Amino acid sequence: MDEQKTIASLGEFPLIEKFFSTLTSEDALPAAQGVGDDAALLSIPRTQQLLTTTDTLVEGVHFNSDMDPFLLGQKALRVNLSDLAAMGAKPHWYLLALSLPANTSEAWLEEFSRGLKVAGEQFSISLVGGDTTRSKGCISVTLTLFGLIGKERAILRSGAQEGDSIFVTGTIGDSTLGLAQRMGQLRISDPEALIFLKHRHQQPTPRVDAGIALVERAIARAAIDISDGLIADLSHICRASNLAAEIYGEKIPFSPAATTLLQESEQDLFPHLLTGGEDYELLFTAAKGSLTQIKEIAENLDLPITEIGVMKKGEPGVTLLRDGAIFPLKNKGWSHF
Ligand code: ADP
Ligand code: MG
């Protein structure tokens, strides 16, 4: 393909046909009507509820203009999938609203579309429609996802109960370390650790299967995905459930790469790992007696799930203890404004 050929010479409808008409997954429910009519037509099974979520990524705000479009396509889908995972839904369909400057190259769009295809197949979700417009400045990508869940089974932020244990999937803080390295704020000398941490930032793994498993066994009482940082997102559960949370620093799961950096770095990275965000792990609460079942889920999915604290009566908010003492947190998490 001619690297320089722009989408302006292609035209809107051939563009949609070429890059967005076949991004379907065999494992998603087929749309009664997908891309190509005025609206997508979706059949919802009688026993299910529809969950929907949307997110926008803007060039210069959420990604740099030099970001690899293949990774951008994947990441856009992955971060949205994480929101469905947090409620326990099975993803099925999505819409794509795309604004592009006329000088965007066809090669860029091809790679972006390939990123969506790969992630869509991996996580079983089909593109069923969207909108394509010209922008005068930057690229903007908005995805709207649709998932299904059994009636009344969705896990809400508001369901935590006093005495619930608090759990997280995977490891915390890798993504923020990957980002800090890219911004030149952190040196990572071990090449393997560098690859791992960069990957965790660029290609977060939405915990779709974990969300579904928690719903199947009706274990989680409240859940959220960690996008703004462990502390900030746990605070959301506290507020929605009107409870306090106490978590224990020494129980928080860090990857080997993060652990090494924690030990070696001159500055204390510990608070940054808990507030940096973009982990896209699930944080959920469950009754004390659920531990055995949670261990089974962790084993089946080959995904660590770690108990890090407890929900308590009290003013909504998070208390972090480290070696028995309260660890003060200044910056609680990422906020756009
Ligand atoms: P309308 O003018 O009726 O709103 P459009 O011309 O915007 O329809 O779109 C034509 C068809 O192509 C629709 O089915 C729409 O959902 C689909 N579509 C447009 N842009 C995209 C996109 N970026 N990704 C997927 N489908 C798209
Ligand atoms: Mg129309």
Mean pLDDT score, 235-260: 97
Chain position carrying tokens 């779709």: 208
Reported confidence tier of residue 329, pLDDT bands at 50, 70, 90: confident
Mean pLDDT score, 230-242: 97
Ligand 1 pocket residue status of 132, Cβ below 6 Å: yes
CA-nearest residue for atom 18, ligand 1, is 130
Res. 337: pLDDT tops 80: no
Average pLDDT of the chain? 94
Ligand 1 pocket residue status of 101, Cβ below 6 Å: no
Q: Which amino acid is at 317?
A: G
- Which ligand gives the minimal distance to the CA of 37? 1
208-229 pLDDT, tens per residue? 999 999 999 999 999 999 999 9
Ligand 1 pocket residue status of 282, Cβ below 6 Å: no
CB 111 within 8 A of CB 69: yes
Share of the chain above pLDDT 90, in %: 89
Ligand 1 pocket residue status of 96, Cβ below 6 Å: yes
Mean pLDDT score, 68-73: 96
What is the C-alpha to C-alpha distance for residues 255 and 193, in angstroms, rounded to an integer? 10
Strands lying side by side in the sheet with 126-134: 48-58, 140-150, 90-100, 126-134
16-26 pLDDT, tens per residue? 999 999 999 99
The pair of three-digit structure tokens given for residue 66, joined into one six-digit string: 């030099």
Best probe residue, ligand 1, of 132, 133, 139 (max atoms within 8 Å of C-beta): 132
Q: Which of 176-180, 198-202, 332-336 has the lowest mean pLDDT?
A: 332-336
Res. 201: pLDDT tops 80: yes
Chain position carrying tokens 């498993």: 213
139-175 pLDDT, tens per residue? 999 999 999 999 999 999 999 999 999 999 999 999 9
How far does residue 31's CA lie from ligand 1's centre (Å)?
Answer: 15
CB 280 within 8 A of CB 159: no
How far does residue 20's CA lie from ligand 1's centre (Å)?
Answer: 9
- Please give the model's pTM, rounded to 2 decimal places: 0.93
Ligand 1 pocket residue status of 128, Cβ below 6 Å: no
CB 182 within 8 A of CB 63: no
Ligand 1 pocket residue status of 35, Cβ below 6 Å: yes
Q: Which of 9-18, 185-194, 240-249, 318-327 has the lowest mean pLDDT?
A: 9-18
Mean pLDDT score, 56-69: 93
Chain position carrying tokens 């969950």: 51
Mean pLDDT score, 65-93: 97
Mean pLDDT score, 313-317: 96
Q: Going by C-beta distance under 8 Å and a sequence separation of 6 or more, which residues neighbour residue 268?
A: none
Strand pairing of 126-134 and 90-100?
Answer: parallel
CA-nearest residue for atom 20, ligand 1, is 131
Ligand 1 pocket residue status of 38, Cβ below 6 Å: yes
Ligand 1 pocket residue status of 320, Cβ below 6 Å: no
DSSP 3: T
Ligand 1 pocket residue status of 30, Cβ below 6 Å: no
What is the C-alpha to C-alpha distance for residues 240 and 163, in angstroms, rounded to an integer? 16
Share of the chain above pLDDT 70, in %: 97
The pair of three-digit structure tokens given for residue 256, joined into one six-digit string: 């080997």
Res. 2: pLDDT tops 60: no
CB 32 within 8 A of CB 42: yes
Reported confidence tier of residue 333, pLDDT bands at 50, 70, 90: low
CA-nearest residue for atom 27, ligand 1, is 130
Q: Going by C-beta distance under 8 Å and a sequence separation of 6 or more, which residues neighbour residue 332?
A: 229, 231, 232, 235, 275
90-107 pLDDT, tens per residue? 999 999 999 999 999 999
How far does residue 21's CA lie from ligand 1's centre (Å)?
Answer: 9
Quote the pLDDT of residue 331.
62
Res. 63: pLDDT tops 70: yes
